[in-house]
Amino acid sequence: MNFPQSSMTNGRRAALLFVDDDTTVLKALRRLFRHENYTLYLAEGGAEGLTVMQEHVVDLVICDMRMPTMSGAEFLAQALEQWPETVRILLTGYADLQSTIEAVNKGRIYSYCTKPWDDEELKLLVHNALQQKHLREEQERLSAIIRQQNDELKAINEHLEEKVEQRTAELEQANKNLLLHNQAIEAARNGITITDAKQAGNPLVYANPAFKRITGYDLAEVLGRNLSFLQGGDHDQPGLESLRTAIRRQTAGYAVVRNYRKDGSLFWNELAIAPIKNANDEVTHFVGIIDDITEFKTNQAQLEYRASYDDLTGLVNRNLLNDRLDNAISTAQREQKVFCLFFMDLDDFKVINDTMGHSVGDEFLKIIAGRLMNCVRACDSVARYGGDEFVFVCPSIAKTDDAALIAARIITEVSQPLQLNGHTLQGAISIGIGFYPEDGLNKETLLQHADTAMYDAKDKGRNTFSFYTEAFNQRLMQRLTLEEDLRQALRLDQFVVYYQPKFDLHSEQINGVEALLRWNHPEKGLIPPDHFIPLTEDTDLILPIGEWVLHTACLQAKAWQLAGLPAINMAINVSPKQLHGPTFDQTITRVLLQSGLDARFLDLEVTEGAVMLDPDKIAITLTRLKDIGIRISMDDFGTGYSSLSYLKRFPFDNLKIDKAFINDIPLDEGDVTLVLTIIAMAHNFKLKVVAEGVETQAQVDFLARNGCDEIQGYFFSRPLPAAEMEQLLKQTN
């Protein structure tokens, strides 16, 4: 028989092992299979058989059942454990048949063959066993391949599923993103448009809701149209050209353009466009982002305006004035020309502001600004330089005569009465004029010199104009020096108070003194107050100096009382600035407290001009002072407004007739009538009358005869230093 397949296992010859203690059996078996295509191993016992199996690959074992030392069953059990793939066949006698069949059934051996065996049967058994082994191995190999392929398939499947899941997630995310982008575009504050770049005329295919909010157009009205309709007729704009170029070149573009809403109103569009490309890199659409920057533009314009113009009056401000002056100077230099500059300051504007409030003051300034503009040519610059200061640069005026004409016109215009808040007001302005280059080679000097000239105009009586002169500049410089000297005088204690007695014509006694300030200058000697008080008024120096006088005079009055001299009134001059100060009554109370002087001995002399500045406020202040016992005198009566209503309105105790009316009595009939009228009128108001500047016996007699209560003047005594005044008090009272 030929069994070619079974003799080969995995491409090699199958190996058979015969185990029997009987060498004749072994030889018989070898003989039987010698010519078959097998590799044959022989072992004379179980132990040797196991050694062979360890050293060689054995496909089939034929083993005798009954062997000494190790039985066939024992050997096969060990072989099964170590080489389960090896086919095991038992050679058995009939005596062992039962246990052999059991072994077959339990799978411990493949089959058995009873001794003596039939050769062909044994060969067939071996062949079949090997065939089966081969088939089983083949099946296992195939199963392994199938298992491996299954595993690979599973892995591919799992990978595919993973991929599908991932793709699905990506798609879901992409969908979400798309939705989000869509919502973002719809919710965007900026207008967003998409136009079709492939169609002629680049028509609109999409616009978000903000587009409607900004332009007022519904989507239905604008779809399919070219967005140039937003320009209205306003096509001549530089920004548009850059947008057109961008579209032509299919690139991104940006421009700020004027657009018009559906209602025709203008809005500033900060427009950015960008091309959208398809997969083939072709531009299919343009996206446009519209930002309505109208508010920003308006604010910007306002800021620019504010940087150059005065908010209140709309006149040029200092910044722009500086530029214009620079220009005027360079033009004048280039063309060898002269130009003129007016420095203007409203007279008594502070009074309007203080008495009527800032809003009236502002309105007043606006009206004046308008009037100034009326006086100049449209191309000239009138600037608001400070609170109530204005500057006018006039390149066309080169001669003093022309400048004087304009100045006069400005004064006339400003002085026209005007109605504000139910009041009739009359403006007044002082103008200083300087010429370039004569009065200043640069703008700072020119402005300063015109300002100096303006002070000259003020000095000349206000509501007038002055040309800059070096002489006045010198005077101004002296004034500045004097101011500094006065500050120093206060620091160095150079002020002294003189006292001039007041004589009571009824009791014929000194019943008071007036404190009069002197400046004991180390070089110039005693300087009278008229020489420096006006300046201290202008500079606020009067406040510390006035307080010093109050303090010194009150201390002096108290000192005389303490020295046993009869108690007399101490009259002290109060300047308008002091009186209008917010803490004047507190200052007085403090001075009284510090000096220890009883309020009823203090007599404050105020002028008509001072109370006139803000009558309501001053009436309250004076009443408050009067309430604590202080006396109030109206000084210099007759020189100012001399209004009867004032005598009623303010809590005056005394009325002082100015020296100007006393000088020529009793000879001048006019003055006599006036003085008699004042005395009668004052008495009607229950005021005492004091005559100032009494120098002659005739004046004394006249005044005594006509009921004047007190006199003050050189006739009785000049103002005296404290020590001399003390002597006089001792002698006379």
Ligand X SMILES: Nc1nc2c(ncn2[C@@H]2O[C@@H]3COP(=O)(O)O[C@H]4[C@@H](O)[C@H](n5cnc6c(=O)[nH]c(N)nc65)O[C@@H]4COP(=O)(O)O[C@H]3[C@H]2O)c(=O)[nH]1
Q: Residue 351 Cβ, how far from ligand X at the closest point, in Å?
A: 19
Q: Which range binds ligand X by CB under 6 A, 107-115, 201-209, 383-391, 690-698?
A: 690-698
β-bridge pairing 509-521 and 525-527: antiparallel
Q: Which range binds ligand X by CB under 6 A, 19-27, 146-154, 271-279, 706-714?
A: 706-714
Among 432, 440, 638, 713, binds ligand X (CB under 6 A): 713
**CA end-to-end distance (rounded Å), the chain:** 182
Q: Residue 662 Cβ, how far from ligand X at the closest point, in Å?
A: 8
Q: Residue 684 Cβ, how far from ligand X at the closest point, in Å?
A: 24
Tokens found for residue 606: 């105020």
Q: Residue 520 Cβ, how far from ligand X at the closest point, in Å?
A: 14
For ligand X, which is the closer residue by CB, 14 or 711? 711
**Kind and range of the H or E run holding 602:** strand 602-607
CA distances from 364 to 309, 386, 423 (A): 18, 15, 11
511: contact with ligand X by CB under 6 A: no
18 DSSP β-pair partners: 42, 62
Phi, psi values for residue 292, rounded to 5°: -80, 105
Residues 6+ positions from 442 with CB-CB distance below 8 Å? 329
Among 72, 361, 434, 546, binds ligand X (CB under 6 A): 546
Q: Residue 495 Cβ, how far from ligand X at the closest point, in Å?
A: 9
Distance CA 681, CA 479 (A): 42
533: contact with ligand X by CB under 6 A: yes
Among 693, 699, 720, 722, binds ligand X (CB under 6 A): 693
Site for ligand X in 238-297 (CB under 6 A): none
Per-residue buried b or exposed e for 132-169, using 16+ beta carbons within 10 Å of the residue's own CB = ebbeeeeeeeeeeeeeeeeeeeeeeeeeeeeeeeeeee
For ligand X, which is the closer residue by CB, 9 or 712? 712
581: contact with ligand X by CB under 6 A: no
493: contact with ligand X by CB under 6 A: no
Distance CA 323, CA 336 (A): 19
603: contact with ligand X by CB under 6 A: no
For ligand X, which is the closer residue by CB, 374 or 583? 583
Among 100, 452, 573, 654, binds ligand X (CB under 6 A): 573
Instruction: Give SS3 for 199.
Output: coil
β-bridge pairing 266-277 and 253-260: antiparallel
Among 347, 451, 635, 671, binds ligand X (CB under 6 A): 635
Q: Which range binds ligand X by CB under 6 A, 177-185, 275-283, 325-333, 527-535?
A: 527-535
* Alpha-helix residue ranges (DSSP H) falling in 563-668: 576-580, 584-595, 608-612, 615-627, 644-649, 659-662
Q: Which range binds ligand X by CB under 6 A, 314-322, 410-418, 468-476, 512-520?
A: 512-520
Q: Which range binds ligand X by CB under 6 A, 52-60, 205-213, 233-241, 528-536?
A: 528-536
CA distances from 181 to 192, 277, 603 (A): 12, 18, 87
Q: Which range binds ligand X by CB under 6 A, 249-257, 328-336, 471-479, 514-522?
A: 514-522
Mask: binding to ligand X, 657-686, rule CB under 6 A, as x and -?
--x---------------------------
695: contact with ligand X by CB under 6 A: yes
Judge contact between 518 and 528, C-beta under 8 A: yes
How long a stretch of residues is the chain?
733
In the numeric block, the tokens 């890199």 are attached to 281
552: contact with ligand X by CB under 6 A: no
Distance CA 621, CA 590 (A): 15
Q: Residue 614 Cβ, how far from ligand X at the closest point, in Å?
A: 18
Residues 6+ positions from 280 with CB-CB distance below 8 Å? none
510: contact with ligand X by CB under 6 A: no
699: contact with ligand X by CB under 6 A: no
Residues in contact with ligand X, total (CB under 6 A)? Answer: 24
516: contact with ligand X by CB under 6 A: yes
Distance CA 673, CA 473 (A): 45
Tokens found for residue 380: 């000239």
Q: Residue 649 Cβ, how far from ligand X at the closest point, in Å?
A: 22
Among 529, 534, 707, 721, binds ligand X (CB under 6 A): 529
For ligand X, which is the closer residue by CB, 58 or 691? 691
714: contact with ligand X by CB under 6 A: yes
Q: Residue 315 Cβ, how far from ligand X at the closest point, in Å?
A: 37
Distance CA 553, CA 479 (A): 28
Q: Which range binds ligand X by CB under 6 A, 155-163, 345-353, 435-443, 688-696?
A: 688-696
579: contact with ligand X by CB under 6 A: no
Report CA torsion sign: 571, 572, 577, 578. negative
569: contact with ligand X by CB under 6 A: no
Distance CA 404, CA 411 (A): 10
For ligand X, which is the closer residue by CB, 226 or 583? 583
Closest CA to 349 of 462, 466, 483: 462
Distance CA 63, CA 92 (A): 9
544: contact with ligand X by CB under 6 A: no
For ligand X, which is the closer residue by CB, 445 or 639? 639
In the numeric block, the tokens 């009359």 are attached to 426
Among 517, 604, 655, 703, binds ligand X (CB under 6 A): 517
CA distances from 124 to 1, 33, 61, 168, 525 (A): 9, 11, 15, 63, 163
485: contact with ligand X by CB under 6 A: no
Instruction: Give SS3 for 79.
Output: helix
575: contact with ligand X by CB under 6 A: yes
Q: Which range binds ligand X by CB under 6 A, 114-122, 145-153, 580-588, 689-697?
A: 689-697
Q: Residue 545 Cβ, how far from ligand X at the closest point, in Å?
A: 7
For ligand X, which is the closer residue by CB, 474 or 594? 594
**Among all residues, whose Cβ is closest to ligand X?**
713
Q: Residue 348 Cβ, how far from ligand X at the closest point, in Å?
A: 20
Please report, as a single letter, which amino acid is at residue 701: D
Closest CA to 272 of 250, 252, 302, 292: 252
Q: Which range binds ligand X by CB under 6 A, 20-28, 257-265, 393-401, 692-700?
A: 692-700
Site for ligand X in 291-310 (CB under 6 A): none
Q: Residue 479 Cβ, how far from ligand X at the closest point, in Å?
A: 18
Instruction: Give SS3 for 422.
Output: coil
Tell me the HSE value of 219 on the side-chain side, using a 13 A CA sphere.
12
Residues 6+ positions from 596 with CB-CB distance below 8 Å? 558
Instruction: Give SS3 for 479.
Output: helix
Give me the residues that bind ligand X (CB under 6 A), please: 500, 515-517, 528-530, 533, 546, 549, 573, 575, 605, 635-636, 659, 692-695, 712-714, 719
